A and B are shown apart, each in its own frame.
Chain A
Amino acid sequence: MTDNMSRPLLEVKGLSMHFTTKKRGKVSTVKAVDNVSFNIYRGETFGMVGESGCGKTTCGRTIIRLYDPTGGEVIYDGKPISGKMTSELRKYITEHIAMVFQDPIASLNPRMTVQEIIGEGLKIRGIVDPKERERIVVDMLQRVGLMPEHATRYPHEFSGGQRQRIGIARALVVNPSLIIADEPVSALDVSVQAQVINLLNDLKEEFGLTIMFIAHNLSVVKYFCDRIAVMYFGKLVELATSDDLFANPCHPYTKALLSAIPLPDPRAEKRRKKISYDPKEAHEYGAGNMPDYHEVSPGHWVYCSEQEFQDMLKNKA
């Protein structure tokens, strides 16, 4: 393996994002992302799942510096991108990482044409010739399955699926290596979800993209991602390849999450046993028994205490 292959494209080390609020003089802190570490390798699709409020979206937004992280380090291709924001750093980040947002209505400016929305990134990157920009935009529209004549229209003239295609085109037009896709299909109708997932899969091949895919639909994540990280209350509780995670979930929260996936099979639904997760009952953390990251099998990390870790190893054997 070459150095380029083995070195992760994105390294996240102990990333924390805390939000503080003042209520009646009392300061309270929400640890939206707390000491989260993972690597994303070139060419892979990295899934991030968890319930709403677990910090998966915040994690993605902190990486691309929509928030200033409270602590930890983010390293993209060997260069730290979590430090003090400078114009060079902003340029570096926007050139390499792009984001696709969840809500295809709210994320497109209703007063800009599709041409302007997609072309804005090109303009900022210094492609001043409008003819050249138009050529690139039209080319990009066709790649995401839209028509050249769509360029002069406004977002409201499109359906949800088409709008999400515009959002994807806007992200791809600056030629990023890493795409952070934040629930890109959650707001779409079932049949349209399949279109967008297939599109992302095709584009990934075509552009050699690395994708960080944030979602709560586990069937979609399993289908789409190579590795999956499970988040719970700001902590990354389990990280494994998608096959390994679904075959051998270790953390009790992961087990509960997997047992709750609705399956399109009425007979299986009747057989299914649901597992519930209550962090207070599931763990006995205290002094000397605090959770940390343990590697259960190569590449399969679980956030648990030493004692739980030993139990997991025993269960595996």
Chain B
Amino acid sequence: MEPILQVKNLTVTFNAFAGKVQAVRDVSFDLNRHETLAIVGESGSGKSVTTKAILGILPKNGRIESGEILYQGEDMAKYKEEDFYKIRGKKISLVFQDPLSALNPIMKIGKQITEALILSKSIERSKAKQRAIELMDAVGIPQPEIRFDQYPFQFSGGMRQRIVIAIALASNPELLICDEPTTALDVTIQAKILDLINDIKKTRDLSIIFITHDMGVVANMADRICVMYAGKIVEVGTADEIFYEPAHPYTWALLSSMPDLDTKEKLFAIPGAPPNMLAPPKGDAFASRNKYALAIDFEEEPPFFKLSDTHYAATWLLHPDAPKVEMPEILAHRIKRMKEKEAESND
């Protein structure tokens, strides 16, 4: 399958008062056509910055130091602001985390959607209203004709997020970037929005980059997953591989730090705090919080070790000479339970 977007060795820094913050360090990934790629990590891991770099909406003090972002045969890392006009909000759209602050509170909902339609030049002004109502209908807003003339405060959180999605879809993009689209929503509403995103992905042939820190949401959405820590991708694989055969100690920690419905054991809390990205530690950035860390982790950065054609992890534990370690018990138990449940449902 040919990739629609390729990110190669992307490095992004921020100039801060105290020095240069290395937010994204040498990140590479491909997004295949029609797939959902999830980027998972804690806050500060660089997942949002990566997508902001793709869309050219880094804050003023942010800079792409090196690397390429290949889209339609062009390197977007070299784009000027004007060059982005033909891409941003047209070919690539963004769904924001907080639907309240993403909408203009003093502009009618309908106007906000038609504005996007007209700016993307996909439609004439006279037909914009009709098209906007169709879009509102497509994202599951009841009575779109009435809702068209209402303001954001008259919408619930879930409905607002549907509007944000409708605006993102206005220009018929082929790539949708969802930045924690359901973090601000309730479980039941979250489930509906995730279903909606999956539906429009199918009906509109979208490719999606999905950013989240919620492993449960990832399992629902992703075809492939990148796990990020301290500005680097530490593990990449299909959803199945990440959840059933995780290999990086950070992925283990992330998975076992949250209870599932059968967890009885004490939770595995990651000790300490993420490293200071002004001066990223030498070697593996996760080493100081990792109880499985080897001496070499503090010296040299681990390369990616191949586990399968789609599954790679950057940890020295996979080196042939490394001592054999088992994943945390709480996680091993859960995976065993997951396999048992699957066998049960197959019977």
On whether the beta carbons of B187 and A216 are closer than 8 Å, the reply is yes
On whether the beta carbons of A52 and B215 are closer than 8 Å, the reply is no
> Top 8 A-B pairs ranked by shortest CB distance?
A262-B216, A223-B259, A194-B257, A260-B191, A194-B269, A51-B186, A191-B270, A266-B239
Q: Which residues of A contact B194 (CB under 8 A)?
A: 262
- The proximity string for A residues 260-292 relative to B, scoring 1 for CB distances below 8 Å and 0 otherwise, is 111111111101001001000000000000000
Size of interface on A: residues with Cβ below 8 Å to B: 39
Can you show 21 pairs from A to B with CB atoms below 8 A apart? Answer: A51-B187, A52-B186, A159-B273, A190-B257, A219-B216, A219-B259, A219-B260, A219-B261, A223-B263, A256-B188, A260-B187, A261-B216, A262-B191, A262-B219, A263-B216, A263-B261, A266-B219, A266-B220, A267-B244, A268-B219, A274-B191
On whether the beta carbons of B266 and A261 are closer than 8 Å, the reply is no
Residue A197 interfacial (CB < 8 Å): yes
Q: Which among B168-176, B299-307, B337-345 touches the partner chain?
A: B337-345
Shortest B23–chain A CB gap in Å is 16
Residue A204 interfacial (CB < 8 Å): no
On whether the beta carbons of B42 and A191 are closer than 8 Å, the reply is yes
Residue B141 interfacial (CB < 8 Å): no
Out of B43, B213, B243, which one reaches A265, CB within 8 Å?
B243
Residue A257 interfacial (CB < 8 Å): yes
* Interface of A (DSSP majority class): helix
On whether the beta carbons of A265 and B268 are closer than 8 Å, the reply is no
Residue B313 interfacial (CB < 8 Å): no
Give Cα distance in the complex from A260 to B345, angstroms. 19
Residue B190 interfacial (CB < 8 Å): yes
Q: Which residues of A contact B (CB under 8 A)?
A: 51-52, 159, 161, 189-195, 197-198, 201, 216-220, 222-224, 246, 256-257, 259-269, 271, 274, 277
Out of A194, A224, A271, which one reaches B270, CB within 8 Å?
A194
Give Cα distance in the complex from A190 to B269, angstroms. 9
Q: Which residues of B contact A261 (CB under 8 A)?
A: 187, 216, 261
- The proximity string for B residues 212-243 relative to A, scoring 1 for CB distances below 8 Å and 0 otherwise, is 01111111101000000000000000011001
Q: Which residues of B contact A277 (CB under 8 A)?
A: 188
Give Cα distance in the complex from A268 to B345, angstroms. 9
Q: Which residues of A contact B255 (CB under 8 A)?
A: 264
- Which residue of chain A is the closest to B215 with respect to CB atoms? A264
- Contact status of A189 and B267, CB under 8 A, knowing A262-B214, A262-B216, A264-B258: no
Residue B254 interfacial (CB < 8 Å): yes
- The proximity string for B residues 189-221 relative to A, scoring 1 for CB distances below 8 Å and 0 otherwise, is 111001100000000000000000111111110
Q: Which residues of A contact B268 (CB under 8 A)?
A: 194
Residue B95 interfacial (CB < 8 Å): no
Give Cα distance in the complex from A218 to B220, angstroms. 16
Residue B113 interfacial (CB < 8 Å): no
Q: Which residues of B contact A266 (CB under 8 A)?
A: 219-220, 222, 239-240, 243
Give Cα distance in the complex from A161 to B43, angstroms. 13
- The proximity string for B residues 327-347 relative to A, scoring 1 for CB distances below 8 Å and 0 otherwise, is 000000010001001100100
Q: A190-B213, A194-B268, A265-B219 are in contact. List 12 more A-B contacts (CB 8 A).
A: A52-B157, A191-B253, A195-B269, A224-B259, A262-B217, A263-B261, A265-B341, A266-B243, A268-B338, A268-B341, A269-B219, A274-B191
On whether the beta carbons of B342 and A263 are closer than 8 Å, the reply is no
Q: Which residues of A contact B217 (CB under 8 A)?
A: 262
- Contact status of A260 and B216, CB under 8 A, knowing A189-B42, A190-B254, A193-B258: no
Q: Which residues of A contact B269 (CB under 8 A)?
A: 191-192, 194-195, 198
Out of A198, A246, A256, A267, which one reaches B267, CB within 8 Å?
A198
Q: Which residues of B contact A262 (CB under 8 A)?
A: 187, 190-191, 194, 214, 216-217, 219-220
Identify the interface centre among A220, A269, A271, A277: most chain B CB within 10 Å of its CB: A269
On whether the beta carbons of B260 and A201 are closer than 8 Å, the reply is no
Q: Which residues of B contact A224 (CB under 8 A)?
A: 259
